[in-house]
Amino acid sequence: MAYVTEQKPADYCNYVGGEWTKSSSGETLPSYNPATGEWVGTAQNSSVSDVEQAIDRAYDVFQKSDWGYNPKRRYEALLGFAQKIEENLERLATVLTREQGKTIKESRQELAGCVDTLKYFAGAARTVFGRSVQLEPGNFGVIAKEPIGVVGIISPWNWPALLMIRELAPALAAGNAVIVKPASLTPVISVELFKLIAEVPQFTKGIVSIITGPGRSIGAAMGVSKKIDMISFTGDTSTGKTIMELATSNIKKLALELGGKSPNVLFADANLDKAIPLIGRSIFISAGQICMAGSRLLVHEAVKDEVLARLKQYAENLCVGNGLLESTDMGPVINQDQLELVTEYCEIGKREGKMITGGHRLSGGEFDRGTFFAPTIIDELSPSCRVVREEIFGPVLAVQSFANEEEALAMANDTDFGLSAGVWTNDLNRAMRMSKGIKAGTVWINTYNKNFPEAEFGGYKQSGLGRTRGVDGLMEYCETKHIHFEVE
């Protein structure tokens, strides 16, 4: 398949109060393809006054509409949105790949995940349940679940469609008004999705808005606004801490899905034929730019040499290039800044460990137009090395070895993060012990990166607060109210 490199960039507006509007600043935000450098589109570089007007509008609509108490309408709206994405999936996948750089195969997967998530929470909108309690003779309690109010969602650039929809769907299903602030590196795909929302008549006009622009100003304005009742943020841990500080303005509720440094723990009895490609995929998918990347490999010393040889072959056989080509296995990192950051970590790895493969920018031919980095594996790193301890957000696998189960568990937990982990063993008892012992929100056994909208996801420690997906993900966007009846 030939890929398009010369398309006229489109202009994108904010969507506020059910209307397409331009920023009062008159400034715009360009978006570029990291594989080719081409100009993909231009979004609004919004001002604080723009987001304040959007907040006022969302607050007003929430107070006056029946959206929060009309679950059938919410069901129909979310289902209609899902159907619109399905109808436009291939076009949207091309937009996503051109803007973010990931492979077209990953883009299709991401958008299919959006559809699945919306369908799940469409059904969940009609099952926002509470409970009743007989408290004592003549006293009866109803524990009701109600929408929180206005929710601000700040979404990331690495999986910009799914990680926006993952929070938008439950927030709307629970009956809230929502304002989305997408990442400034990927505004185009986010606004393209909102164009489809605008085509679904069941959405109450103004109940959901999108504002593009810099996080330092408009994201901060959302954080301190007293009319926003909750912030959902997906991104790095340092920014999450800033969001927590801003939220003290009115003690907002927070949902934070933050960084990770997730281990794949590979025991000697594991099925290597299955494990090797999935471990490789877990770190090289999206060029390693994914919070749950299996960026640490903890491998039993008895099979380390074989595992490293096979992973080296896997990495070197990956086809790195423009994501629009069907043959591409891994695209570029998002931009020059990220390329330089990954390079810096690999220089540390070269000094403190042993480079098995990669560790450099790819150059020559088409590579010179984009920000491509070789799939990288580094061995013999100390537990204190920054490559082992810090989230790189690039295609870099840090390898450590262990001698026994106790050592493996200690190494897996020797991190500030706790988002996810993988355990590879054919011993069921060991799998259970490890899954119980690892301090992470998700532990996969003999697989990795399997996510479903009905199964909760989130982190321990500095990987975040709260849960997304599943019943808990819906309840994150609800308030709990006790209504007490005393019967005479």
Residues annotated as catalytic (active site), given as ranges: 257
**Cα angle: 229, vertex 172, 484; to 5 degrees:** 65
Q: Is the sign of the CA dihedral 426, 431, 433, 439 positive or negative? A: positive
Q: Distance from CA of residue 125 to its chain's centroid?
A: 22
Q: Rounded CA gap, 248 and 254, in Å?
A: 10
Q: What is the DSSP letter of 204?
A: P
Residues whose CB falls within 8 Å of the CB of residue 393, separated by 6 or more in sequence, listed in order: 158, 236, 288, 289, 293, 338, 341, 342
Q: What is the DSSP letter of 9?
A: P
Phi, psi of 205 (to 5 degrees): -60, 120
**CA quadruple 413, 414, 418, 421: dihedral sign:** negative
Task: Look at the alpha carbons of 395, 401, 405, 407 in this order and tell me if their dihedral is positive or negative.
Answer: negative
CA distances from 138 to 13, 130, 407, 482, 485 (A): 57, 20, 58, 16, 8
Tracing tokens 């059910």 back to the chain, one arrives at 18
CA distance 327 to 399: 28
Rounded to whole angstroms, how far apart are CA atoms 242 and 235? 11
345, 22 Cβ separation under 8 angstroms = no
Cα-based angle 11, 15, 16 (whole degrees, multiple of 5): 145
Among residues 117, 219, 253, the alpha carbon closest in space to that of 173 is found at 117
Residue whose structure tokens are 């085509």: 199
DSSP H or E run through 336 = helix 336-352
- Ordered DSSP codes for 76-114: HHHHHHHHHHHHTHHHHHHHHHHHH---HHHHHHHHHHH
Retrieve residue 206's tokens: 């103004």
Cβ–Cβ under 8 Å, residues 125 and 173? yes
- Of 255, 169, 231, 208, nearest to 67 by C-alpha is 208
Q: Counting beta carbons within 10 angstroms of the beta carbon of residue 480, is it exposed (0 to 12), middle (13 to 18) or buried (19 or more)?
A: exposed
User: Max CA-CA distance within the chain?
Assistant: 84
User: For the packed helices 71-87 and 162-173, what is the interaxial angle rounded to 10 degrees?
Assistant: 160
Place of tokens 């896997």: 314
Radius of gyration for the chain, computed over Cα atoms and rounded to the nearest angstrom: 23
